[in-house]
Chains A and B, each alone.
Chain A
Amino acid sequence: MPELQNEQELRRGFLVGAIFGLMGAITAALGLPAAGYLLLPGKARRKEVWIEAADLTNLPMNQPEQIIFNRERRDGWKFVTEKAAALVIRTGDQQVVAFSPVCTHLGCAVSWSTNEKHFVCPCHTSAFSTDGKVLGGPAPRPLDRFDVKIAEGKVLLGEVRESKES
């Protein structure tokens, strides 16, 4: 009886299809939110924060100074106050440049070498000029800069902006 056999096969095909279809739908309904939860960034509610880092009058002309200041950082569900550093150079009467003291190679702390008159990284001897450019070593791009604002004689630091490849 080939007709009956055919009908049974159709029925079986429907059942198997339904099983896989429904299970697939459930997996997607669970898996997509889970992927979003794990892989997508959360709500970014960043507001502009300017931190008073130094008095303009205390900064010598064209002479890099390392300035340590406190900033509040968001760490997951916590707010932590931590110390942060900036390499600040007064380049004009009302002009200040502030570099992040983090080497663009592998993240070591960069400091000013008074002997060599440029910034050096202690890890792999990358060197940066006073305008942040790479002078030597493996660093792939110039030092990152803070947003800087000057108001009422105070130097205010904002976000760190990643530098472009040189």
Chain B
Amino acid sequence: MLRSVIDWLEQRTGIESAIKHFLYEDIPASSGWHQVFGSVAMFCFLIQAVTGILLSLNYAPTPGDAHASLRFILTELTGGRLIRGLHHWGASMMIVVVVLHMIQVFLWGAYKKPREATWMMGVVLLLITLGFGLTGYLLPWDNRAYWGTVVTTQITAKAPVAGPYLLHLMGSDNGQIGVQTFARFYAAHVLLLPPVTLILIAIHVFLVRKHGVAPAPVETAPAVKFYPGQVFKDTVAVFIMFTILFLMALLVRVPLGKIADPTDTTYIPRPEWYFLFLFQILKFFEGPLEIVGSMVLPGIAVGLLFLTPFIDRGAAEKLRQRTLAIGIVLLAAVGWAGLTAAAVRSTPNREAWQNFIPEEMAAVGSFRQAQCWQCHGSTPGDNKAGPNLADIAVREDRDWLVGHFRQQGGKSGLRDLQWRQLANLMRKLDDESVGSLGTAPHDAVAGAQVFMKYNCGVCHSVNGTVARNGPPLNGVAARRDRAWMEGHFLDPQKFAPGTAMPAYKFTPAEMSGMLAYMGTLKD
């Protein structure tokens, strides 16, 4: 039965012989595990395509809605987090695999005549992969996405002559990024790049078939078939890659941060990990030299990569004899790792709760006093009787929330004002800040409550709140030591003659909380 169906198809379309032709290709007997990366890279692309399409079915590609719809995918839909995780980590995995593929070809010298075009096509595919990463980075429309893309567009804008035109091409006219930039990045990511990638992959694979898999310098054994020997190795490699990816998607949560806020000056943008080394290089070139780091060096690197087959034209050698190639790869790896490590080290560590305004920080205290944590977890997997706040987005309106708090936490002695502030905080929580309900230090939280109790916020601004003419308190601990602050609270005139600040007779507990809180306020 099956046989007759296949025969029918074969006679009408020739599909069986086409597949056989593809699978039973002769490959050199020296082929093996080192040649699996091309197949794995192609499979990565397939996963990105599948998960990307799934995400697009519930995604609204406009700023604002983009964030809300992704939040919906993550907090409401079955398997939403897993699919987004696969797509996010799949992008990183794809970069890793593509680079491994390139390193293998480079080490073995498989780009040599007649395979120069195959190699160059591969370099273009590498650049396209990076283009996917760059354009996809904006699409969640959280602060990370927004500020990361601001930096990208600003770097492009500095290109000599072409800068303003490129900026215009990216839909960013006055250095701002908005709906147009978003539309263009989205269109590039889902409409332009995928078909281009498919075509280039097809050409790349066609060229591999045309010239055959690169043989060893001396082949001693007769050729073997691609299937099943090499296909088995490729499949095992794909399986290992997929297992790692799946576990990452399951276990390492990709946070969706606060919705993009162009006025948020406290946000410190960092690019995705695979661009960190470029980011670090930029630091070495200041002022007019900046384009050396942002354009000239990367340009030279890509140019060299592209022209590799014409620079190294010697006859094929065994891997062991290619010491120069091995040296270059090692040097590049060490340089990349060093730059990336330096960039990671220089990233200031700012906890999410350090971005809270005093009202929100104090509300964390209300959350704890009312023992909300008895029913609600605030970290992934910490499931209790009530919904885990790390897994949901609180969408209930404020009145409902206040009613819920009064009913459930009525014995805590908190007042309506505090319930309302807690409700505000609940509605603002995101993947990055929700953990603060458990992790914000107790003394600093107590300090924020003292801050609210004495209305310090009327005169003093914290994290951008609007206040009268008292000095902003961010970074106060760097300007004044503890003893000074303690004395100043008790007797301001003694420490700052003529100040308008009244004296505050804090209890010892209030004082230690306040001092701890002041210490956490970063510039």
Annotate B72-114 by CB proximity to A: 1 below 8 A, 0 otherwise: 1001111110110010000000000000000000000000000
With an 8 A cutoff between CB atoms, is B400 at the interface?
yes
Annotate A73-89 by CB proximity to B: 1 below 8 A, 0 otherwise: 00011110000000000
Smallest beta-carbon distance B221→chain A, Å:
15
Stretch from B7-15, B168-176, B238-246, B275-283 forming part of the interface with A: B238-246
Smallest beta-carbon distance A42→chain B, Å:
4
Contacting A at CB under 8 A, from B54-87, are 54, 57-58, 60, 65, 68-69, 71-72, 75-80, 82-83, 86
Report how far A91 CA is from B232 CA in the complex, Å: 76
Instruction: Return chain B residues, CB-CB under 8 Å to A18.
Output: 232, 235-236
Smallest beta-carbon distance A48→chain B, Å:
11
Annotate B220-240 by CB proximity to A: 1 below 8 A, 0 otherwise: 000000001101100110110
With an 8 A cutoff between CB atoms, is B396 at the interface?
yes
Instruction: Return chain B residues, CB-CB under 8 Å to A37.
Output: 54, 77-80, 83
Would A30 and B50 count as touching, CB distance under 8 A?
A: yes
CB within 8 Å for A43 and B392 given contacts A37-B54, A37-B83: yes
CB within 8 Å for A77 and B65 given contacts A15-B228, A26-B239: yes
With an 8 A cutoff between CB atoms, is B316 at the interface?
no
With an 8 A cutoff between CB atoms, is A164 at the interface?
no
Annotate A114-146 by CB proximity to B: 1 below 8 A, 0 otherwise: 000000000000000000000000000000000
Report how far A45 CA is from B72 CA in the complex, Å: 13
Instruction: Return chain B residues, CB-CB under 8 Å to A25.
Output: 239
Would B239 and A16 count as touching, CB distance under 8 A?
A: no
Would B69 and A76 count as touching, CB distance under 8 A?
A: yes
Interface of A is mostly: helix
Would A19 and B228 count as touching, CB distance under 8 A?
A: yes
Interface of B is mostly: helix
Annotate B380-418 by CB proximity to A: 1 below 8 A, 0 otherwise: 000000010000100110001000000000000000000
Checking B65, B76, B395 against A42 with a beta-carbon cut-off of 8 angstroms, the contacting residue is: B76
Report how far A19 CA is from B238 CA in the complex, Å: 10
Annotate A14-38 by CB proximity to B: 1 below 8 A, 0 otherwise: 0110110011011001100110111
Would B235 and A43 count as touching, CB distance under 8 A?
A: no
Tell me the nearest residue of chain A to B233, going by C-beta.
A15
Checking B47, B76, B229, B238 against A43 with a beta-carbon cut-off of 8 angstroms, the contacting residue is: B76
Report how far A45 CA is from B76 CA in the complex, Å: 9
Contacting A at CB under 8 A, from B108-164, are none
With an 8 A cutoff between CB atoms, is A40 at the interface?
yes
B-binding residues in A (CB < 8 A): 12, 15-16, 18-19, 22-23, 25-26, 29-30, 33-34, 36-38, 40-43, 45, 47, 76-79
A-B contact pairs, 7 of them (CB 8 A): A18-B236, A25-B239, A26-B239, A34-B83, A45-B387, A76-B69, A78-B68
